[in-house]
């Protein structure tokens, strides 16, 4: 699939703001001190907004997944493409993170069983509920978003291969139905029921994917469908902002929609988002997302302690660690992610082409 440079630029923005959130806000005030530079940059409320970089990732995913579905022959074809895109890099980065946490267990410790949710993308809370003695966790807490992605892939594929031209509408209506059910759960259920509903329903994240679908429709001159999808998405955003008591979702949704749609009509903005450094970070964003938090912060913490760095030097080191993680992620992208993706897809097509030829020969 040919890469869209400004989409890579948006991925670059997404991962950078997520890194800011994890490196300078998420673990502020924890004991032991996760941030050796705790008295300087960390803890500022501005970095808290970085958590919404994941929502931009979801919106980008809505755009890209609709594109992938339209280029897939059937559900199996789509599933193989997604597996080839995600799993090899997920496996490698899980191993790298696990090895890092074995060597540097100061902040987080993980056990071999934690590969179970991390490589199957089944949420640990589900596994722990089904098999209580497991007590598993994600290898890195950031993997939670991959569970939401998997839910979206399944729903999108079901709707698309049932009625290709109706996916945006059906997905939007499904989103509103699940959100409506959420208000029932909130009214009559407990906090536990609402948490379980949020985990299993995808209601909290559906609107972001739908924003991306709307942007894809608009990019392909399907304006009425795009307007319909965007309207449903914004209704979903407003409803979930009330349901989950998070009004920041509304401006975040407007920003996500603007970043995906405006570059189509503003060549200068598209050019700015397509600059090489940002696009390169975007290309490396998947492995960078998987590696940056637990592995990156553990390395930063250990080096700062070993070198006896003060707050200012430790802050400078954090920027170096982030830069090294970007470099490593680019290497993974070129040396592992792309080759593995191509090999799996090529092997799948080669096998099924032979099967098709055998069926044709038998029919003759």
**What mean pLDDT do residues 322-342 have?**
97
Q: Is the pLDDT of residue 108 over 60?
A: yes
Three-state SS across 16-63? HHHHHHHHHCCCCCCCCCCCCCCCCCCCCHHHHHHHHHHHHHHHHHHH
pLDDT of residue 2: 52
Do 177 and 225 form a contact (C-beta atoms < 8 A)?
no
pLDDT of residue 264: 92
Three-class secondary structure of residue 190 per DSSP: coil
Each residue of 259-317: pLDDT tens digit? 999 999 999 999 999 999 999 999 999 999 999 999 999 999 999 999 999 989 999 99
pLDDT of residue 132: 87
CB neighbour list of residue 23: distance below 8 Å, 6 or more residues apart: 35, 42, 292, 296, 297, 300, 318, 322
pLDDT band at 353 (very low <50, low <70, confident <90, very high): low
Q: Is the pLDDT of residue 58 over 60?
A: yes
Q: Which stretch of 51-55, 127-131, 359-363 has the lowest confidence by average pLDDT? A: 359-363
CB neighbour list of residue 22: distance below 8 Å, 6 or more residues apart: 50, 142, 292, 293, 296, 297
Three-class secondary structure of residue 139 per DSSP: coil
Each residue of 176-230: pLDDT tens digit? 999 999 999 999 988 888 889 988 889 999 999 999 999 999 999 999 999 999 9
pLDDT of residue 354: 60
The ranges assigned to domains in the chain are: 5-363
The span from the CA of 241 to the CA of 112, in Å, is 37
**What mean pLDDT do residues 226-251 have?**
95
Report the percent of the chain where pLDDT is more than 90: 82
**What mean pLDDT do residues 38-60 have?**
86
Each residue of 147-175: pLDDT tens digit? 999 999 999 999 999 998 899 999 999 99
- Between helices 144-162 and 75-103, what is the axis angle to 10°? 180
| Cis? peptide before 277, omega within 30° of 0 | no
The span from the CA of 171 to the CA of 156, in Å, is 7
Do 256 and 226 form a contact (C-beta atoms < 8 A)?
no
pLDDT of residue 355: 58
* Residue positions counted in the chain: 364
DSSP assignment letter at 189: S
The span from the CA of 276 to the CA of 333, in Å, is 16
pLDDT band at 364 (very low <50, low <70, confident <90, very high): very low
Q: Alpha carbon 253 to chain centroid distance?
A: 16
Each residue of 60-72: pLDDT tens digit? 999 999 999 999 9
The span from the CA of 344 to the CA of 212, in Å, is 27
pLDDT of residue 194: 87
State the chain's mean pLDDT as an integer: 92
pLDDT band at 360 (very low <50, low <70, confident <90, very high): very low
Three-class secondary structure of residue 202 per DSSP: coil
The DSSP-derived string for 333-358 is IIIIIHHHHHHHHHHHHHHHHHHHHH
């Amino acid at each position: 699939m040919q890469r869209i440079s400004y989409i890579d630029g948006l991925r670059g923005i997404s991962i950078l703001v997520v890194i800011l959130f994890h490196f300078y806000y998420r673990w502020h005030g924890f004991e032991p001190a996760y941030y050796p530079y705790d008295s300087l940059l960390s803890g500022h409320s501005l970095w808290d907004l970085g958590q919404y970089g994941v929502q931009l990732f979801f919106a980008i995913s809505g755009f890209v997944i609709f594109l992938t579905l339209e280029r897939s022959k059937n559900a199996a074809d789509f599933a193989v493409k997604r597996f080839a895109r995600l799993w090899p890099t997920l496996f490698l980065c899980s191993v790298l993170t696990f090895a890092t946490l074995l060597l540097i267990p100061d902040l987080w410790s993980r056990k071999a069983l934690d590969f179970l949710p991390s490589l199957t993308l089944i949420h640990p809370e589900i596994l722990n509920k089904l098999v209580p003695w497991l007590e598993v966790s994600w290898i890195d807490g950031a993997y939670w978003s991959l569970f939401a992605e998997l839910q979206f892939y399944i729903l999108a594929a079901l709707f698309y291969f049932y009625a290709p031209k109706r996916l945006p509408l059906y997905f939007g209506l499904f989103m509103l139905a699940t959100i409506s059910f959420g208000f029932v759960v909130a009214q009559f259920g407990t906090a536990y029921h609402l948490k379980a509903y949020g985990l299993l329903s995808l209601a909290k994240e559906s609107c972001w994917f739908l924003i991306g679908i709307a942007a894809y429709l608009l990019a392909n001159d399907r304006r009425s469908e795009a307007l319909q999808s965007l309207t449903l998405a914004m209704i979903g955003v407003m409803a979930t902002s009330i349901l989950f008591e998070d009004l920041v979702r509304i401006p975040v949704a407007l920003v996500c929609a603007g970043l995906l749609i405006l570059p189509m009509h503003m060549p200068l903005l598209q050019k700015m988002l397509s600059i090489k450094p940002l696009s390169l970070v975007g290309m490396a964003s998947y492995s960078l997302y998987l590696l940056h938090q637990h592995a990156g912060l553990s390395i930063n913490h250990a080096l700062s302690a070993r070198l006896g760095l003060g707050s200012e030097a430790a802050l400078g080191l954090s920027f170096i660690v982030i830069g090294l993680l970007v470099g490593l992620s680019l290497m993974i992208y070129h040396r592992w992610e792309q080759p593995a993706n191509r090999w799996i897809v090529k092997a799948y097509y080669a096998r099924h082409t032979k099967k098709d030829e055998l069926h044709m020969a038998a029919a003759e």
